Amino acid sequence: MKKILLDGNLNRYKANLHCHTNVSDGRLSPLEVKELYKSHGYSVIAYTDHDVMIAHDELNDDGFLALHGYEMEINEERKEDMSYKTCHFCLIQRDPDNMKQVCWHREKYLFGNAPKYKDQVKFDESLPDFERVHSGECVSEMMKTARDNGFFVTYNHPSWSLETGEDYLNFHGMHAMEICNYSCFVDGYEEYNPRVYDEMLRSGKRIFCIGADDNHNEHPKGEGGFDAFGAFTVIFAKDLTYKSVMDALFAGQFYASQGPEIYSLYYEDGRVYLKCSPAAHIFSTTNRRRTWNYHMEDNSPLTEVSFRVHDMDKYLRLTVVDELGRHANTVAYWRDDLLKEE
C-alpha cells in the first residue's frame, strides 16, 4: 500500500505564515511586504497583524495570494523588567468570506497602529467582551473557539515568550507550532525548537509544525537585523487559490524549512521514502529514544533516502540538514494513520 504524504506532482508554494506590517507594529506596508517577498520566490503571505484581521485581497494576482489572519497575545501581569510570560498564536481563516474575529474585546489589547483599524474589525456583537488570562484554560478556550470558527491556529515562539512545558503542554486546540521563528532567532532567542515539537508530540498532541519569519522589517535588507527569508513553509497544492492552499494547510500537506527543499515523500510497505535537495544529513525522529540517520560520505550529498517505520514508533518525522546547517522539517506522521486504508 502506497500512501502519498507530500505529492511531488503538485505545485509547491513558498509561504510566510506569520507576518507583520504597518497595520500593527511592522515597518512596511502590506504592498511593500508583498513586493519584498514575491521578489524572493514567495507566493503566499498570511497577513497576521496583531489583533486586527484586515483583508488584503487587492494584492492578489496570478503569482501571489494573501491569506486573512491575525495574531493574538495573552500576557501574564506586565512587569517593567519584561520577565512576564506571554502566549502568542496566529489565526488564519479558512473561509475568505468569513472576516469575523473571535475573542474580541471592544476596548482592550490593541497596540501599535492597530487602533486605527478598529472600526474595520468584524465580530459577533451579541457576545460580551472577551477577557484574556494567561492560563491553560483560557488559552485553550481561545484556540478551540478559533478552530470552531474555521481558523488554522499556530502556536508561536515559545522561547521568546518565556514559556515552558508547564505552559504549552496545557494549551489545547492548536493545529501547528512554529518549529522555527526567524525574527526571534535574529533577536537572539533559541527559536529553532524541534525539542519543543517532540515534547508536544510525545504528550499526545497530534499537531503540525511550520516555519515562519514573524517579520517586522525594522532593518532593511542587507543589515544584520533583517528578519525576512529565514524560515518558511512550503505548501503542496493543486493551484494558487485560497481554497486549495487552506485545504493543504488543514491536511498537513507542507513542510517547514530554513533553506533545504523536500520534493516528495511517501509511505509504502513499512518505510517512508524521501527525495530532497542536496543534504549533508537526514534524520528520522520518533517518540522513542531511537533515531535513524544518513550522513554525506565522500563529498556526495544525499538526495534520496528511506526509513523504516517500526512497530514501536507512535510517530515519525524527518529532518533534512544542508551543508550550511540549515534545516527542513516534515510534520509528524502517526503510524496508525500511515496504516489506515485509504
The CATH number linked to 59 is 3.20.20.140
* CB 229 within 8 Å of CB 213: yes
Give the C-alpha separation, 99 to 207, whole Å: 25
Residue 4 lies in a domain: no
> In terms of domains, do 34 and 122 share one?
yes
Residue 5 lies in a domain: no
> In terms of domains, do 192 and 163 share one?
yes
> In terms of domains, do 98 and 116 share one?
yes
The CATH code of the domain that includes 317 is 2.60.40
> In terms of domains, do 216 and 244 share one?
yes
- The string of DSSP letters for 90-154 reads EEEESSTT--EESS--SSSS--TTGGGGGGG-EE-TTSPPPPP-SSHHHHHHHHHHHHHTTEEEE
Residue appearing with cell numbers 521578489:
39
Q: What is the Cα gyration radius of the chain?
A: 20
Q: What domain count does the chain have?
A: 2
Strand partners, 257: 232, 328
Residue 3 lies in a domain: no
Residue 1 lies in a domain: no
> In terms of domains, do 151 and 163 share one?
yes
Domain boundary among 206, 227, 258: 258
CA terminus-to-terminus distance, the chain? 9
Residue type for 126, please?
S
* CB 175 within 8 Å of CB 147: yes
201, three cell numbers: 508530540
* CB 96 within 8 Å of CB 242: yes
> In terms of domains, do 220 and 243 share one?
yes
> In terms of domains, do 35 and 161 share one?
yes
> In terms of domains, do 219 and 263 share one?
no
pTM of the model: 0.97
> In terms of domains, do 172 and 298 share one?
no
Secondary structure (3-state) at 67: strand
Tell me the pLDDT of the chain (342 aa) as tens digits: 899 999 999 999 999 999 999 999 999 999 999 999 999 999 999 999 999 999 999 999 999 999 999 999 999 988 888 899 999 999 999 999 999 999 999 999 999 999 999 999 999 999 999 999 999 999 999 999 999 999 999 999 999 999 999 999 999 999 999 999 999 999 999 999 999 999 999 999 999 999 999 999 999 999 999 999 999 999 999 999 999 999 999 999 999 999 999 999 999 999 999 999 999 999 999 999 988 999 999 999 999 999 999 999 999 999 999 999 999 999 999 999 999 976
* CB 261 within 8 Å of CB 328: yes
Range of the domain at 326: 259-342
Residue 210 lies in a domain: yes
> In terms of domains, do 171 and 316 share one?
no
Residue 104 lies in a domain: yes
Domain boundary among 216, 243, 258: 258
Adjacency order of strands within the sheet including 302-308: 2-6, 262-268, 271-279, 302-308
Residue 129 lies in a domain: yes
341, three cell numbers: 486504508
Domain boundary among 236, 258, 280: 258
Residue type for 78, please?
R
Pairing of strands 2-6, 208-212: unpaired
* CB 143 within 8 Å of CB 173: yes
Helix (H) or strand (E) holding 69: strand 65-75
> In terms of domains, do 224 and 281 share one?
no
> In terms of domains, do 28 and 83 share one?
yes
